[in-house]
A and B are shown apart, each in its own frame.
Chain A
């Protein structure tokens, strides 16, 4: 290697990093370096070791072997606090917030401003500091809101605000954009670019490869725990990056849209209303159709899905399944009516993290494997799990691995496998490819097409426009709780969708805080 270990113009240098988990050699002589004032992309397939490598730098995991040099000094990083002390802050792939605490309390947890006495909190100071931060980020959030009342996207913005608040010289972002829409991503990139100006080194992990061309200066590719190479972004094509990631040239065949769906309406929603989030939502889903739902985050797409799935109560509106009025009061009613829902927030709703891959895959279809006296046909569940582990290329040492030990993208694949086994007629996928690598993405597209061809009907909510355009027979666009447009596959293009997605209604919703501070601890 050309630079000497003490080279002062490097912020971070990691070399010979090794890490083994039971049954998994996660990192094998991995190396990585970061210069001040650069945005450095880190890419690789699901399970390649990206998060593990960065968690070692962030003090979350300890390395088995190797050295870490920061600004010319060899260091050990035993815990997250030590990483903070070295000027490293990290946005984790999974949200790591405390839902019962407020936004500001979350951001400053562990380093709360004090008021005079050493243990005394300065609550006003916390909120003011958070507001200052939001001003810089052009973010409109009330720091006193509880985190549990925020959408996933807003929670992600809180994570970003928190990482920025450290004023670190190294900022690690593990898939920060996965839950964000284009406008928020643009805002994030603006912030990141200004950090680069001021000499911060930024590590950016993402599966949205188009993004990397826009934002990164250099790209490091990992595969199977090894660092393949680091290249200048300007010097390579995306195809080149992909082939480095997967170790061969895959060429992505654009799958043909399945044939025209039939005209049978399997699901119809009429005038769904719920508070300010759903307003007169009506649409039809046909047999064998893939119906895309596009819109900005907060447009109400997830709320439509949750309403149909019985997860949130409706104020008014009717749902018809195969022409018959259905009364769906809870998710279990929905499953009985043949509806499956893959939620966007996998950690909260999608997985039994402490259980193994097999159980998770079989969970939604256990009834199929039940014998007399509730005996579970384990041969059946095993076969099923094995099938989907192969079909979706889930990277796991075995089907008895706990799901929480899988990489983020592989957890997502497990959820998809779970709903595929459920074998329901109507499938709602909310951001199905979030955090999934290129190879697996096309595999999931292929599976969705197959399902549609078999006569299943699919609602696909996605914030990635190219994905919606490529997959859908028909696209419904939402804005502020209303359906603002419907486009056939032929009519749909990015521009039209964005026009509808920003078509705000005339009546502006009252600008009051929707979440007034509770009169806590007032003597009742």
Chain B
């Protein structure tokens, strides 16, 4: 880093560490730790190897979706279609692999192409047809859901003939059960962390990441600086589509099938994870690390509540409360 002249006379030092978006990540991480402590005090089952493995694997799908949606939220957009697009990609994989009997890699490719295409359509509608992101992706939510049902004939598609398919997510990458009984790291978790690292690099080190922030901060300024804002925005939505497809791969492999009626509601958990992690819905701010912490927070919470036999309906209520709390804390912090 270059250390050059310190600013001699500038405005009030309005930025403190407290106001930086690192603070929100820090708080979310603190909350996660706190939650671990409380749940392990309340239940002996919480801190067992198999339960931890369960939390890790339960975070994978939502975490990857949330990573994708973080990009569009930073541009001050939104993507409500990530859940049903994920389902559509699973159906496409089922179609190609099971119904047409093609090799698995071709199936995965079909899923990824489907995700990219959905993202492209979203981006195109937003930039060229000037639809608000909320509307464009709400439409896509329904289109993808409907297409999933149509293509699958409203029936699940199973991957039973291809045992390797299940291994994509459920294969054991690291077996720690020798040290802690029941603790294994599945490939799904590996894919989540791989996706997180990839996304972090894209966001902080590449031109695409830079423009993601620029679009959310002041799109007009970016346009006047000669940035082709339409093209980059489409690219961002395609990236989100790509992560939906990746989540689709993990999902299909984990449940060893494509369930065409699944997927709706996932978008809300994904958005919640991003917001809890400090991504600002008004754009320009956010981080992948925060989103991943947010995703773990949500799945840890529902896991812990489940262990304590809180009915699932109430788990949903608590998730809602957490979103309120996180965003409210964020606002307080900014006002400081």
Judged by DSSP, the binding face of A is loop
Kindly list chain B residues whose C-beta atoms are within 8 Å of the C-beta of A243.
Answer: none
- In the assembly, what is the distance between CA of A511 and CA of B228, in Å? 40
Residues of A within 8 A of B138 (CB): none
B205 touches which of A92, A101, A120 (Cβ 8 Å): A120
A97 near B221 (CB under 8 angstroms)?
yes
Is there contact, CB below 8 Å, between B224 and A111? no
Contacts of B309 in A (CB 8 A): none
Which residues 208-257 of B have a CB within 8 angstroms of A?
208-210, 213-214, 216-218, 220-228
Q: Is the CB of A276 within 8 A of B13?
A: yes
Chain A residues near B284 (CB, 8 Å)?
98-100
With A and B bound together, what is the CA distance between A312 and B13 in angstroms? 12
CA distance A119 to B206 in the complex (A): 5
* Chain A positions 481-519 with a Cβ under 8 Å from a chain B Cβ: 511-515, 517-519
Residues of chain B lying within 8 A (CB to CB) of residue A101: 210, 213-214, 217
Residue of B nearest to A149 (CB): B15
* B204 is an interface residue with CB less than 8 A from chain A: yes
Which one of A128, A277, A518 has the highest number of Cβ atoms from chain B below 10 Å of its Cβ? A518
Residue B153 CB within 8 A of the other chain:
no
Q: Let me know if A518 and B222 touch, CB within 8 A.
A: no
Residue from B29, B204, B218 having most chain A Cβ neighbours under 10 A = B218
* Stretch in contact with the other chain, from A137-145, A202-210, A388-396: A137-145
Minimum-distance CB pairs A-B, first 3:
A100-B284, A98-B217, A81-B226
B224 touches A100 (CB 8 A): no
- The answer to whether A80 touches B2 (Cβ under 8 A) is no
Tell me the minimal C-beta distance from A484 to chain B in angstroms.
15
Q: Which residues of A contact B2 (CB under 8 A)?
A: 124, 127-128, 131, 143
CA distance A310 to B220 in the complex (A): 31
Contact with A along B1-42 (1 / 0, CB 8 A): 110111111111111010011100110010000000000000
- Do B208 and A521 touch (CB < 8 A)? no
Pairs across A and B, CB under 8 Å, 6 listed: A96-B221, A99-B284, A114-B207, A511-B6, A515-B13, A524-B26
Contact of B13 with A514 in the complex, beta carbons under 8 Å: yes
Q: Given the known inter-chain contacts A141-B7, A142-B7, A520-B287, please indicate yes or no for A100 contacting B226, CB distance below 8 A.
A: no
Evaluate whether A275 and B13 lie within 8 angstroms (CB atoms) in the complex, with A96-B221, A127-B1, A521-B204 already known: yes
**Residues in B whose Cβ lies below 8 Å from that of A276:** 12-13
Q: B1 near A124 (CB under 8 angstroms)?
A: yes
Asked whether any CB of chain B lies closer than 8 Å to the CB of A109, the reply is yes
Are A80 and B226 in touch, CB under 8 angstroms? yes
Nearest B residue to A299 by beta-carbon distance?
B9
Quick check: A100 and B216 within 8 Å, CB to CB?
A: yes
Which of A96, A128, A131, A512 lies at the interface centre, i.e. has the most chain B CB atoms within 10 A of its CB?
A96
Task: Determine the chain B residues whose CB is within 8 A of the CB of A194 once the complex forms.
Answer: none
- When the two chains form their complex, are residues B213 and A121 in contact, meaning their CB atoms are under 8 A apart? no
Residues of B within 8 A of A144 (CB): 1
Q: How far is the CA of A121 from the CA of B221 in the complex (A)?
A: 20
| B12 contacts across to A, CB distance below 8 A | 274-277, 303, 312
Quick check: A521 and B200 within 8 Å, CB to CB? yes
Provide the bound-state CA to CA distance between A148 and B12, in Å: 11
Q: Would you call B227 and A96 a contact (CB within 8 A)?
A: no
> What is the minimal beta-carbon distance from B202 to any residue of chain A, in angstroms?
9
What are the residues of chain A within 8 A of B223 when measuring CB–CB?
80
For chain A, which range describes its interface: under 10, 10 to 19, 20 to 34, or 35 or more residues? 35 or more
At the interface, yes or no: A151 with Cβ under 8 Å from chain B?
A: yes
Complex interface: chain B residues within 8 A of A90 (CB): 224
Kindly provide the distance from the CB of B64 to the nearest chain A CB, expressed in whole angstroms. 19
For residue A23, CB closer than 8 A to chain B, the reply is no
* Minimal Cβ-Cβ distance residue in A for B285: A100
Would you call B11 and A109 a contact (CB within 8 A)?
Answer: no
Given contacts A98-B221, A109-B210, A515-B7, contact A523 B15 (CB under 8 A): no
Q: Does A154 sit within 8 A of B, measured CB to CB?
A: yes
A520 to B5, alpha carbons, bound, how many Å?
22
**B141 on interface, CB distance cutoff 8 Å:** no
Q: How far is the CA of A106 from the CA of B226 in the complex (A)?
A: 12
A161–B218 Cα gap in the complex (Å)? 19
B228 touches A98 (CB 8 A): no
A142 pairs with B6, CB closer than 8 A? yes
**Neighbour of B25 across the interface among A84, A120, A524, CB < 8 A:** A524
User: When each residue 143-179 of chain B gets 1 if its CB lies under 8 Å from chain A and 0 otherwise, what string results?
Assistant: 0000000000000000000000000000000000000
Whether A298 lies near B11 (C-beta < 8 A) is yes
| Cβ–Cβ < 8 Å partners of A150 in chain B | 10-11
B289 within 8 A of A: yes
- A276-330 interface (Cβ within 8 A of B): 276-277, 298, 303, 312
A121–B210 CB distance below 8 A? yes
Which A residues lie within 8 Å of B20 (CB)? Answer: 518, 520
State A319–B227 Cα separation when bound (angstroms): 48
CA distance A513 to B225 in the complex (A): 29
18 extra interface residue pairs, beta carbon distance < 8 Å, beyond A275-B12, A520-B21: A79-B226, A96-B220, A98-B222, A100-B217, A109-B214, A109-B222, A111-B226, A112-B207, A121-B206, A127-B2, A131-B2, A143-B2, A151-B10, A154-B11, A513-B7, A514-B7, A518-B22, A524-B289
Residues on B with beta carbons closer than 8 Å to the beta carbon of A128: 2
Q: Which residues of B contact A121 (CB under 8 A)?
A: 205-207, 209-210
Complex alpha-carbon distance, A512 and B289, angstroms: 30
In the bound assembly, the distance between CA atoms of A514 and B223 in angstroms comes to 31
CA distance A177 to B213 in the complex (A): 29
The answer to whether the Cβ of A146 comes within 8 Å of any Cβ in the partner chain is yes
B225 pairs with A145, CB closer than 8 A: no
Given A119-B207, A128-B2, A140-B8, A523 and B217 touching (CB < 8 A)? no
Cβ contacts under 8 Å, A120 to chain B: 205-207
**Which of A96, A97, A100, A140 is B7 in contact with, Cβ under 8 Å?**
A140
**Interface residue from A109, A140, A518 paired with B17 (Cβ < 8 Å):** A518
| Any B CB within 8 A of the CB of A480 | yes
Measured between C-beta atoms, what is the minimum distance from B218 to chain A in Å?
4
Q: Is A105 an interface residue (CB 8 A)?
A: yes
A22 within 8 A of B: no
